Structures are given as C-alpha cells and as structure tokens.
Structure 1
Amino acid sequence: MVEETTTKQQETPISTVPEIKQEGELKPLSQDYYNQTSDEALNVIRNNLEDYKQRNPEFFKDYETFKKNFSYNARNEEQRNLLDQWYN
C-alpha cells in the first residue's frame, strides 16, 4: 500500500538568510520570501547584501552574476529596485 503525504508550505521568516551552497551559489528561497515588501523585509535584504559582500565578494563580480546569485528574476518589483539601487 502506498501512503500519500502532503506538506504544507511554510512562510519564510524575513530574518532568514539564504543558505550558501558548496559551489558558491545561493540556495533559492520560497516565493513568499521574494514577495515581501515591508520596510523590515527590505532592511533585512540590505543587511544581507552587506554581509554577502564581505563574505562572498565573488557574488558581486559583475551585474549578471549578482542577479543570478540573488534570484533577481524571482523577486517582486520593489525588491528588484532595491537590488538595482544597491548594486549601482
């Protein structure tokens, strides 16, 4: 007999920092994380960017690498604007 199981997707807390994979890329988070627009959430993103700039400068070697490593296309417009402003 095959038993079916279901999992409930949990909201990603805004304080969650993306995990770093061995090969130097960020592990994608849930879509909920990428849709957050509160000031608190945007401040967490800014702080995370500063932390990653110190720990993983290879994520910032050029704009395309930056966008890939921070899942630019998965994010909402407000978060993409924040990333654009931060990178420039």
Structure 2
Amino acid sequence: MRKLVFAAAAAATLASAGAAFAQMPAPADIIKNWDKNGDGAVDKAEWTAAGRPAERFDAIDANKDGKVTAAELDAAMAAMRQRGG
C-alpha cells in the first residue's frame, strides 16, 4: 500500500512539473517583458535590476555579447528541460 501511495504522489509531482513547463511563457515574451530599453534583448543591468543572479545571465549569454536574446533564452530553457529541471 505504501508503494502505491508513493507512486501516486510521484506521478502527481511529475504531472504538475510538466504542466508548469507547458504554461511557461515563450522566450520572446519573457525578453519583451524584461527588455526595459526596448533594444530587443536583455542586458546585464536589466537582468540584475530585477534581482536575477548575474551568474545565470553569464551562463545564458551564449555568444558573450553582453545581451540575452530570445534565441539564447530559448536554448537555455531547452537545455534545462533536457536536464529535467
């Protein structure tokens, strides 16, 4: 009986995690909301002004140009989904 309850709880947790990804806004919409100067990308100042960790910016800025684009954010989100988190 305990195994059945645990399995049901695990299944519910996984289902809710999948639903959270399904409800996540598109990277382009996220960038649009975070882009305060309207240049189509998020620079480090815009990123950190909202309390986001600078280390995460550095990891997502794939071409190291000092800006995170929708494409870079999309790639980072896809990599996170593949890792299961």
Task: Identify the TM-score tier after normalising by the shorter chain.
Answer: under 0.3
Name the structure with the higher strand share.
2
Greater Rg, structure 1 or structure 2? 2
Q: Which has the higher contact order (CA 8 A, sep 6+)?
A: 1
Name the structure with the higher helix share.
2
In the superposition, the TM-score normalised over structure 2's length comes to 0.28
